[in-house]
């Protein structure tokens, strides 16, 4: 029996896990579902030892354990099958399986490869993979590599006493239908050897494979449902939680956009590595949401508009004028602003203060002959600190020390103060708490009221539906269908998911 009791985790500014209880019996398969930001990945990291909880206990058969690293967890039989695979491509399959545990094959300081190959074959047989253990990993297919990864975790079996607990993080996201079937039957068979925690966005799969389903929302387990009784709609409802106020996304402030004023046009744009072309039109005051699964090609479109990626074919027109040079500086000069997903990497320069961050994209306006007008910069920062009620001691504070919500406000202020009227929002509320999210939603409405056009890649589907005027559903780089999201006639989650997968 593997158990978590009242596990908590905080990061600066966010309470990610607020007391999680979870238990897994030997041979049990549990499903773990929740929206992005519900705390799933942090919870998993705690289970496999990559992150240490701030409070609460982890127990195996009633005895408390402490994992300081994934290796500690592995020694206790907890293994992770990573979504972005963790195998080292230029090593052989067997080297990967026993990575870090080669000692058992060492004789007089030399690895005995035959012995390792033999042991690897035993592991590969468990996952019914008939390949040469000496094969270089990069030559396997994605599905094969996933099975090798599973074999790697199963190799723990011989080394630890007691039962294994194996985490499967979105294992089906890039598998074909047949491969998924194969994986599922394998997992069911392996129940003799291990319990599984199965994380996926695909609720039907979760219901099909698991025994019990944990629904996570805002760092809490809101329900544990036996899979026999579970239905996709009820789980969805629990994931979103209907306690959210009707105006959570500030729908009451949604005004019709100006259909006569086109800000941006993509005309049969083909991005590198994609088969299909994309066409869309963004108007003043419009929020256009791109929805789709991870890797469907939403970010590529944003990056092309921002000039970070050059399309193979087609034209991008900004206010009627075709883009010829593709560089961020060119797009910025054309009034495009980009709020990146990786706030701490591309959004905020930590080590630089508030006004330095705000004017970074528009230093030309705050300098003459290359000499900065610092008093004007400060005045601008003070003005926006007040307008967006950014919680910061002064305009000279280091942005690296601000909370996520305040950092995001600084990034938004950077573009808004520079007069950008085409704003690209890439997961603008990622990692923010509820209050900060609502502030961001308010700012989106403010921008629309000012005639700004927004392209949104939202953190959740609800967010996309709630905020947008128009939704483009993207699958494999192609716009599958369009929805208009006028107030009172918004599409449902189900309508969208239907086209996404």
Partner 1 sequence: MTDRVAWTERLRRHFPWITLTTLVILVGITDFNFLRPDNLLNLAADIVPLLIMAIGMTLVIYIGSIDLSSQSIANMATVLTTIALPSFGVGSGLLVLVAGLAFGAVSGVVTTRLKVPSFISTLAVGGIALSVGQFASGQQALHMDAEMRRHAFGWMVGRTAGIPHELIVALLLVVAAWFIQGRMTAGRTFKAIGAGEPVAVASGIRVERYKILAFALSGMFAAIAGLVFSVKLSGGSPTLAEGFLLPAIVAVLVGGTPLTGGVGGVVNTVIGTMIVAVVRASMLYLNIPAMGQQIFFGLVLIVAIASTIDRSKMRIVK
User: Which residues sit at the interface with partner 1, rule CB under 8 A?
Assistant: 12, 306, 308, 327-333, 338, 340, 342, 345-352, 356-357, 360-361, 363-364, 367, 370-372, 374, 414
Name which of 170 and 299 has its Cβ closer to partner 1: 299
Nearest approach in angstroms of CB 419 to partner 1 is 13
**Vertex 259: Cα angle to 253 and 263 (nearest 5):** 95
Alpha helices in 177-256 (DSSP H): 177-189, 203-209, 232-240
> Closest approach of Cβ 241 to partner 1, in Å?
32
Nearest approach, Cβ of residue 103 and partner 1 (Å)? 24
Min. distance of Cβ 403 from partner 1 in angstroms? 12
- Rounded-to-integer distance, Cα 273 and Cα 251, Å: 37
Torsion of CA 392, 397, 398, 399, to 10 degrees: 30
Least distance CB 144 / partner 1 (angstroms): 28
Between 279 and 401, CB nearer to partner 1: 401
The C-alpha atoms of residue 454 and residue 499 are separated, in whole angstroms, by 23
Least gap, CB of 400 to partner 1 (angstroms): 9
| Residue 261 backbone dihedrals phi, psi, to 5 degrees | -105, 105
Nearer to partner 1 by Cβ, of 207 and 402: the residue is 402
d(CA 267, CA 280): 7
**Nearer to partner 1 (CB atom), residue 74 or residue 339:** 339
3-state secondary structure 60-125: ECCEEECCCCHHHHHHCCEEEECCCCCCCCCCEHHHHHCCCCHHHHEECCEECHHHHHHHHHHHHH
Distances (CA, A) of 69 to 66, 78, 102, 237, 405: 9, 11, 18, 35, 30
Nearer to partner 1, 344 or 480 (CB): 344
Cβ closest to partner 1, residue 350 vs residue 484: 350
Which tokens in the block code for residue 177?
Answer: 């239908």
Smallest separation (angstroms) from partner 1 to the CB of 363: 4
Tokens 């469907």, residue located: 296
Nearer of residues 179 and 356 to partner 1, judged by Cβ: 356
């Amino acid at each position: 029996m593997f158990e978590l009791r009242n596990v908590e985790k905080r990061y600066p500014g966010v309470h990610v896990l607020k007391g999680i209880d979870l238990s897994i019996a030997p041979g049990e398969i549990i499903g773990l579902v929740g929206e992005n930001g519900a705390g799933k990945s942090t919870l998993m990291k705690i289970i496999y030892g990559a992150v240490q909880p701030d409070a609460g206990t982890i127990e195996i058969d009633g005895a408390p354990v402490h994992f300081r690293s994934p290796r500690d967890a592995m020694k206790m039989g907890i293994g992770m099958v990573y979504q972005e695979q963790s195998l080292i491509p230029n090593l052989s399959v067997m080297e990967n399986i026993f990575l870090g545990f080669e000692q058992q094959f060492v004789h007089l300081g030399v690895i005995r490869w035959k012995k390792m190959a033999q042991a690897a074959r035993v592991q590969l047989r468990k996952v019914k993979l008939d390949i040469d253990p000496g094969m270089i990993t990069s030559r396997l297919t994605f599905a094969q590599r996933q099975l090798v990864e599973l074999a790697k975790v199963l190799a723990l079996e011989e080394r630890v006493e007691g039962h294994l607990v194996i985490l499967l993080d979105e294992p089906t996201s890039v598998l074909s239908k047949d491969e998924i079937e194969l994986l599922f039957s394998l997992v069911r068979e392996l129940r003799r050897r291990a319990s599984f925690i199965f994380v996926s966005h695909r609720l039907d799969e979760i219901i099909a494979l698991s025994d019990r389903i944990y629904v996570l929302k805002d760092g809490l387990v809101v329900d544990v449902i036996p899979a026999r009784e579970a239905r996709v709609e009820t789980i969805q409802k629990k994931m979103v939680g209907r306690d959210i106020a009707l105006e959570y996304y500030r729908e009451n402030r949604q005004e019709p956009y100006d259909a006569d004023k086109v800000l941006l046009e993509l005309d049969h744009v083909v991005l590198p590595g994609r088969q299909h072309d994309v066409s869309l039109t963004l108007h003043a005051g419009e929020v256009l949401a791109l929805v789709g699964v991870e890797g469907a090609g939403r970010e590529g479109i944003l990056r092309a508009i921002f000039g970070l990626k050059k399309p193979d074919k087609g034209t991008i027109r900004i206010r009627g004028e075709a883009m010829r040079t593709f560089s961020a500086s060119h797009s910025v000069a054309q009034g495009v602003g980009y709020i990146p997903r990786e706030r701490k990497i591309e959004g905020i320069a930590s080590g630089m203060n508030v006004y330095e961050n705000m004017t970074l994209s528009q230093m030309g306006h705050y300098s003459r002959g290359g000499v900065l007008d610092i008093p004007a910069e400060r005045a601008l920062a003070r003005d926006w600190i007040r307008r967006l009620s950014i919680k910061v001691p002064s305009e000279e504070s280091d942005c690296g020390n601000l909370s996520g919500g305040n950092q995001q406000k600084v990034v938004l202020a950077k573009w808004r103060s520079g007069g950008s009227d085409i704003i690209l929002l890439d997961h603008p509320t990622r990692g923010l708490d509820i209050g900060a999210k609502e502030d961001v939603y308010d700012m989106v409405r403010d921008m629309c009221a000012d005639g700004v056009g927004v392209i949104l890649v939202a953190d959740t589907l609800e967010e996309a539906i709630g905020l947008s005027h128009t939704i483009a559903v993207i699958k494999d780089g192609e716009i599958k269908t369009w929805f208009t999201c006028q107030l009172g006639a918004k599409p449902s989650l189900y309508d969208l998911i239907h086209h996404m997968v």
